[in-house]
Homo-oligomer: A and B are copies of this chain.
Amino acid sequence: MNTETANAKSDEEQIRELISKWAAALEARDVDGLTASYDPNVVLFDAIPPYKTVGVESIREVWTQCLPHFPKQFTSEHRDITIHVSGDTAFAFCLHNIATDEADHPASQTWLRVTVGYRRIDCAWKVVHEHVSIPFNPLNNQVWHIKDPDTLDMPDYSQACGEGGAE
């Protein structure tokens, strides 16, 4: 293994550690921990409006408002994590779920798709961009929950063609 490969592996491990720490912070409802690795100028495309949230202070406010509405007890689950890293830039994408015994809790009805962009700044990886979403059904403009990530289900598009399809 040459030095470059060794460094790349280490970088990926650092980013996996950030994701694990974020999950632990979410379970602890720890806003400082949730935002510890955000760059001050991070741009978030969140699953719910506003369509864009800019800056770590604004993201802290979002978390402060929303954490009280999470289930009393839950775990933060990531799966299918893919990480690309080279030089001082990296991105990761995965699925995230709130797992809880409260079966009907609105926060746990779907897996979310998550893409995170990182820059290495002053020797530490920082989140500069995050995109969180679920798809929508163009036949009725309703959200399309991801109940089982192993099932790639979709509406019956032969009935109509709605919102313009793939981007």
Contacts and interface: CB of A to CB of B under 8 A. Distances in A.
Contacts of A144: 48-49, 51
Interface in A125-167: 128-138, 141-144, 146, 149, 152-155, 157, 161-167
A66 interface: yes
Question: How would you classify the secondary structure of chain A's contact residues: helix, strand, loop or mixed?
Answer: mixed
A56 interface: no
Contacts of A93: 43, 45, 117, 129, 131
Interface residues of A, number: 75
A21 interface: no
B107 A146 contact: no
Copies in the complex: 2
A89 interface: yes
B65 A113 contact: no
Contacts of A135: 45-51, 133
Given A49-B154, A66-B164, A86-B87, 10 more contacts: A49-B144, A49-B152, A49-B153, A51-B134, A53-B166, A63-B166, A66-B166, A69-B162, A86-B119, A113-B131
11 contacts: A47-B136, A48-B137, A49-B155, A51-B149, A65-B165, A84-B117, A93-B131, A107-B164, A132-B166, A133-B135, A136-B143
